Amino acid sequence: MPPRRHQHQQQPPRVYVTRKLPGDALQTLAKSCQVTLNSRPEPPTRKELLKNVRGKDAILCMLSDRIDAQVMDAAGPSLKIISSYSTGFEHIDVAEATRRGIYVTYTSDILAEATADLTFALLLACARNVVQGDRMVREGRWKVGWTPDLLLGQQVHGSTIGIIGLGRIGTAVARRAGGFGMRILYYSRNRNEKAEAETGATYSDLDGLLAQSDFVSIHTSMNDASRHMINRSSLRKMKKTAYLINTARGAIVDERDLALALEEGWIAGAGLDVFEKEPLPKASPLVRMEKNVVLLPHIGSASRQTREKMAQAAVKSILDVLVVGGGRGEPEPAFCVNQIRRR
């Protein structure tokens, strides 16, 4: 079906989409907009990004695309909305977009339950040597059948989890921890009394949480205050038997300090879905640590259901601004990160 004519423009609104998305959200978008899609599996190069945003009304980007003043300049004055297919939006210069009257939207907490599931997958994999066991069986190293002390791990039930950041994802993790009979501590910039009441989580200062937890799980957002929040000094405060789980953002942890802590046995292990540099370079010392580190390729939100909902939300924000609102900013899109004065 040809794109529907835009109410206030000769041409349908133009949208650059930086990656293919699961589900049929892009088909919905194409019904009312002229879509330029990077259909390769890799993100667009910087050069491609700058070229393809030219003259667009909207950019639908991923967390791997840096959207800064240069990109906004390249897009030009037609750009009205940057819709990110992500919960984090630290890859977008929001202040610059706001100054230019461009909406920035994200996919909010849609991923909370999926990310909490994966957090527990990592926690259990670390605690109970799941990945090591799988390799042992496949590689024919399981020689003597059932063995009293084969791959002894850490008991999860009855242990203590320390959750850093008790927002929607942290709370979803706390709910699961309750099901595992864990004692739940949390540290956050602000107390979350509602989540405390729901999950039985107890507030602690960061040092207290690090010292008492068997599993420290990170669920805070990435910003200047949280960058390298977990570093040499914090890792030194953790129990030698404890595991660090990170499904938030790589740069919250100083990876060099973490590698040292793992090499020298300051902590027992780590389960990581996110890294300072993604994809994780093969030369990273973490790659060599097969016994005490479980590594995943940033798939916290990667359930079909969640990723499809994220795609629908990212598309809806664009349609709200360009089609429903006729580009005038009424109604304001859902999941808007910045406040734009209506034009």
Active site (catalytic) residues: 249, 278, 298
What's the CA gap between 317 and 309, in Å, rounded? 12
**By CB under 6 A, is residue 251 in contact with ligand DGY?**
no
- 301 near ligand DGY, rule: CB under 6 A: yes
- Could you say whether residue 63 binds ligand DGY (CB under 6 A)? yes
The amino acid occupying position 238 is: M
> Among residues 111 and 209, whose Cβ is nearest to ligand DGY?
111
Whichever of 86 and 292 has its CB closer to ligand DGY, that residue is 86
Size of the site for ligand DGY (CB under 6 A): 7
Applying CB under 6 A, which part among 82-90, 135-143, 150-158, 256-264 lies near ligand DGY?
82-90
Say whether 112 sits in a helix, a strand or coil: helix
Q: Is 61 in the site for ligand DGY (CB under 6 A)?
A: no
| 244 within 8 A of 267, measured Cβ to Cβ | yes
Q: How far is the CB of 42 from ligand DGY (least distance, A)?
A: 17
Q: Strands 215-218 and 243-246: what pairing?
A: parallel
What tokens appear for 258 in the block? 């973490």
**Selected range binding ligand DGY among 4-12, 81-89, 201-209, 262-270, rule: CB under 6 A:** 81-89
Among 22, 43, 55, 88, binds ligand DGY (CB under 6 A): 88
Q: Does 267 sit near ligand DGY (CB under 6 A)?
A: no
Which residue, 188 or 301, has its beta carbon nearer to ligand DGY? 301
Cβ burial of 267 (10 Å; 0-12, 13-18, 19+) is buried
- CA 336/CA 70 separation, integer angstroms: 22
DSSP summary character for residue 281: P
- What SS3 class is residue 96? helix
For residues 107 and 94, give the distance between their C-alpha atoms in angstroms, rounded to a whole number.
Answer: 15
Contacting residue, 111, 182, 218, 321, with ligand DGY by CB under 6 A: 111
What are the Cα distances from residue 322, in Å, to 7, 132, 285? 10, 51, 47
Residues making contact with ligand DGY (CB under 6 A)? 63, 86-88, 111, 300-301
